Amino acid sequence: MLKELDGWDEKALSEDTELSFRVYESGYHIRFFPEGVTWEQEPETLKVWWKQRTRWARGNLYVIGKYLFRVTELKSKRVMLDLLYFISIYLLFFAGILLSHSLFVTSFVVDLNLTIGSVSFLLIFIGFLVFVTQVCLALSLEQNQLTSKNVMTVALMYIIYSQMWIFLVIYASGLEIKRVMFKQEARWYKTERFNSKSKGQKEID
């Protein structure tokens, strides 16, 4: 199938997303296999996490740019839905966050005379509740992971981790714009894995 699809797109840093789009466009289906079990090694350090998430963001932004201007030519509704999903996250949701933060900071300096204060606080609370709930649901699927300590960590993630995502997307967007403008080669970053010697386990590629 990979040969039929003309191989990998070397500019796509999130190759799984880009390849999935072409699989759907070629008329194939990607089915869910419930018996399949996979394990993932998360980045151990902030530096590794930043590099990995930057690659993901750049890759997804590339996919948006590649297919957005071809939306009228797309055959698969699945691709359209996935494209809408990425647009909602990296464009609409991101723009909404920037606007919200800008209004919040500006309100400390200038009286904006906004009359939706209670509504905005309610939306913030709902967003926080949804975020914590969905992560805790994911933790509940893993043995001994839904602990009070982890729940507190998730709550802090909304304040710290989620806000870091804003700067990450800005940084990734800058790198991707620079790559396009100067016609640079897209370099794929392989996430550094656990130290097998210190952890006593084999590295999983």
CA separation for the pair 148, 154 (Å, rounded): 10
Share of the chain above pLDDT 90, in %: 48
Q: CA 147, 153, 157: angle at the middle one, nearest 5?
A: 145
Q: What is the pTM of this model?
A: 0.81
pLDDT per residue as tens digits for the range 122-136: 777 887 898 899 899
Of 178 and 100, the structure prediction assigns the larger pLDDT to 178
Q: Token digits for 85?
A: 């999903």
CB 23 within 8 A of CB 30: yes
Report residue 132: phi and psi, to 5°.
-65, -40
The domain ranges of the chain are 15-33+45-183
Helices in the chain by DSSP H: which ranges?
A: 15-25, 46-68, 77-87, 94-106, 117-140, 148-159, 161-181, 196-199
- Reduced 3-state DSSP string for 53-108: HHHHHHHHHHHHHHHHCCHHHCCCHHHHHHHHHHHHHHHHHHHHHHHHHHHHHHCC
pLDDT per residue as tens digits for the range 5-40: 999 999 999 999 999 999 999 999 888 887 887 777
Per-residue pLDDT for 109 more than 60?
Answer: yes
Average pLDDT over residues 160-185: 92
pLDDT per residue as tens digits for the range 150-161: 999 999 988 888
pLDDT at 204: 41
